[in-house]
Each structure stands twice: as structure tokens, then as C-alpha cells.
Amino acid sequence: EIVLTQSPGTLSLSPGERATLSCRASQSVSSSYLAWYQQKPGQAPRLLIYGASSRATGIPDRFSGSGSGTDFTLTISRLEPEDFAVYYCQQYGSSLMYTFGQGTKLEIK
């Protein structure tokens, strides 16, 4: 089973700053099967990025994804107040099973 490790665990930044979140896989992952989700308190996760770099419908272009192999990155170019949340990476493995990273909490500094 592939393990996804996200870093940092918590990221403290101010609105307007750039955020860089990392997701590292224990073995190579197809970029096609790597996604990022945002979860705000009391809400369900929301799909942000799929295929490592494609934005989901309605996602602002300040969100971008990149990476391949075992290292993937979610970048938020200029933080808005509504971006402070927990972010999860996810990969599709096999047999219709999925793995999530443990999450990165993005908090206001």
C-alpha cells in the first residue's frame, strides 16, 4: 500500500502570502491519479486539483498543482482569508481503493 506523507503538518502564513504544501508518496504514483482536497471546519472535503495539476470546476487560478513520481506540490499563489483550511492529497491505487495523506493545516499567522 502506498503511503502519502504531507508536510508541513501545520503552515502558518498571512493573507497575501504564498503557500507551498508538499505530498510525498512511499513509491511512485501516476500523476493522473493524484488529487488535492480542501476541508474547512464542519464541511465535507472539496476537490481542488486532479491529475496532479488540473483545477476542478470553479477553483480559482491561485490554486495550482505540480509534481510527478513521488513528489507533489499544491501551491496557493496569494492567500485569501477563505483559503485557511486543511488540505489533503489523495491517490488512487488499485481495486477501487484510495489513500489520503494525513493533511496539512493552513492557519492564519
Partner 1 sequence: EVQLVQSGAEVKKPGESLKISCKGSGYSFTSYWIGWVRQMPGKGLEWMGIIYPGDSDTRYSPSFQGQVTISADKSISTAYLQWSSLKASDTAMYYCARRDQWLVDYWGQGTLVTVSS
CA atoms of 14 and 99, how far apart (whole Å): 30
CA atoms of 4 and 91, how far apart (whole Å): 8
Q: Is 104 exposed, middle or buried (0-12, 13-18, 19+ CB in 10 A)?
A: buried
The contact pattern for partner 1, residues 22-61, with x = CB under 8 A and - = no contact, is ----------xx-x-x-x----xxxx--x-----x-----
Query: In this chain, which of 5, 12, 20, 102 binds partner 1, going by CB under 8 A?
Result: 102
Query: In this chain, which of 60, 71, 98, 109 binds partner 1, going by CB under 8 A?
Result: 98
Classified as helix, coil or strand, 42 is: coil
Site residues, partner 1 (CB under 8 A):
32-33, 35, 37, 39, 44-47, 50, 56, 88, 90, 92, 95-103
